[in-house]
Each structure stands twice: as C-alpha cells, then as structure tokens.
Amino acid sequence: MTLLSVEGLGIAFGGIKAVHDVSFKVEPGEIVSVIGPNGAGKTTLFNMISGVYQPGSGRVVLEGEDVTGMAPFRLAQRGMSRTFQNLQIFQNMTVLENAISGFHLQEKGPVLADLLHLPSSRRRARAADAGARKLLARVGLERAADREAGNLSYGSLKRLEIARALAMKPKVLLLDEPAAGCNAVETEEIDHLIAEVAASGTAILLVEHDMKMVMRISSHIVVLDHGEKIAEGAPAEVSRNPAVIAAYLGTEEGADADG
C-alpha cells in the first residue's frame, strides 16, 4: 500500500486554476521534492495535502484512507505533520515548550488530572519534557531551551519548527522551504537532518528553492509550472528534461507569464 498518494488534486481561486490535476505518490523513507518557479502552486499544493485548503478536485489518500480536506489536527493524529514557509512558531512560549507541544498527542490526557496536578499528569509532562530536550539537542538548540521562542534567529526557528514536527514521529513530513533564509552552514545542517529522518523510515515531501540541496537529497522530484505537473522523476532525469529547463530559464512565450 502506498503511504501517501495524491490523485488529480486541483483548486481554483476566483476562476484561476492555482493547481490543476496533480498526482504523485510518496513511499516510506523517500524524499520527494516539489519544485517549480515562483507562483507555480507548490505551497498551495502543500496546503491542500495538509488540510489547510479544501481541494476543488482530486483526492489525498494516506495509508489507504481518503483524507481529502481533513482538518490538520486529524491528519496529525494519522501521522502527517508539516512545517510552514512563513514559520508558525508559538511565540508566546519558550523554545522547550514549543518542542514539547509537538508531543501533544502523546502527552495529552484527562484535563481534570492536569488541573489537579495528579501524578499521571506529571508523568505525561515529564516524558514529553525529556523527549523534547532530546529533539532540541538533535537540531542543535539544547542551549536555547529556556529562551523565549520569539527571540531566536530565523535559522534557529526553522530548526525548532522541524524539531516540533519530528516530535510527532510522523509517517509523512511536509517541509515547506525548510532552508529558506538560512546560511550555507545552516542549510547543510538541515540537509543532514532531513536525510537522517528519511533514513529512519519517515516519508518526506519537500518544497525547496535551493536546487543544489534538492538535487542532492531527493529520491524523486515533481516539477510544477503554472499549477500543473510538467515533469516527474529522479533528480538526474528531471534536470535534463527540456520542459523543466524551459520553465526555469523561460522561453519566448513563458517568460512574462510567470510574474
């Protein structure tokens, strides 16, 4: 059974087809990258898969179950997690608390036990705390644990968001431009982290502008242009594909249509 299967997904905003009839599959341990010029519909596609937008057409199937348009928290319960291009950090919390929040599904319990500080509540919180510290160490943020999340650098916040997503031990992890705004060293760190996570069996769906990174780590690449899939395949195949080259470099007719 395919882990994640995207079948003919499409959405239109005010009559304009932002994404049209996109299909691909993701298997455990794979790193599938979605690339394409600005405005190609990559983030829109992500938002449909992760339940932020309701698709106009098509299906999203997770482990054989139709999860099309399901609320993000239900997808999370089924093992899908994501990060955001424009960061969604809990700014009102410490770095550690942000990471602990990723353990929500594991640490949640009866609210009455939490109100009365019962041993069961403390046990759950302690387990999440320990797990979160380990994850922070893994992304190199252990020393920032008690800082206000809002005070962190952009690159650190990116890693914190990944740590929070990893806390859920997702089966599928959607990463929307994890390396955007990061310097070369940080990009390489994130690069290693992603490869490591995939090696542990998690499927990764990646949107990324850093082509070097995409070519290096992807097992499979899906190319979008103007909301449609124009090519798909292994990195080497895709980089030789004339349609892809035209979309990126622009042809006579495509040059000004992109905006």
Partner 1 sequence: MPKLTAKSATLLVLAALIAVTPFFFPSGYYYRIGALIFVNGLAVTGIVILTGYAGQISLGHAGFAGIGGYACALAPTHLGLHPSLAVVLGAVISGVLAYLVGRPILRLKGYYLAVATLGFGILVSMVLNNERRLTGGPDGIAVPELGLRGLLKDWGLDLTNGEFWYFFCGLVLLIGAWIALNLHQSPSGRALRALHGSEIAAGTVGIDVARVKLQAFVISAVYASVAGSLVALQNKFITPDVAGFMHSIEMVTMAVLGGAGSVLGAIFGAGILTLLPQALTVFAEYEQLVLGLVMMLVMIFLREGLLPSILRKLRGRGE
State the residues that interact with partner 1 by CB under 8 A. Answer: 50-52, 71-73, 76-77, 81-82, 84, 88-93, 97, 100-102, 104-105, 107-109, 111, 114-117, 121, 124-125, 128, 146, 164-165, 167-168
Determine the Cα–Cα distance for residues 182 and 180; give it in Å rounded to an integer.
5
- DSSP-derived letter for residue 94 is B
Q: Distance (Å, rounded) from C-alpha 211 to C-alpha 118? A: 51
CB of 114 to partner 1, least distance (A): 3
Nearer to partner 1, 24 or 84 (CB): 84
Rank residues 44 and 221 by Cβ distance to partner 1 and give the closer one: 44
Beta strand pairing status for 220-225 and 31-35? parallel
Supply angle C-alpha 196, 131, 92, rounded to 5. 105
Kindly state the smallest distance separating residue 72's Cβ from partner 1, in Å. 4
CA angle 153, 154, 159 (to 5 degrees): 100
Closest CB to partner 1 among 51 and 178?
Answer: 51
Minimum distance from residue 4 beta carbon to partner 1 (Å): 16
Tell the smallest beta-carbon distance from residue 102 to partner 1 (Å): 5
Q: In the complex, what is the shortest distance from the CB of residue 71 to partner 1, in angstroms, rounded to a whole number?
A: 7
- Pick the closer one to partner 1 by CB: 21 or 129: 129
**For residues 89 and 207, which CB has a smaller minimum distance to partner 1 in the complex?**
89
Pairing verdict, β 172-176 and 65-66: unpaired
For residues 31 and 50, what is the distance between their CA atoms, to the nearest angstrom?
17
Separation CA 24–CA 89 (nearest Å): 29
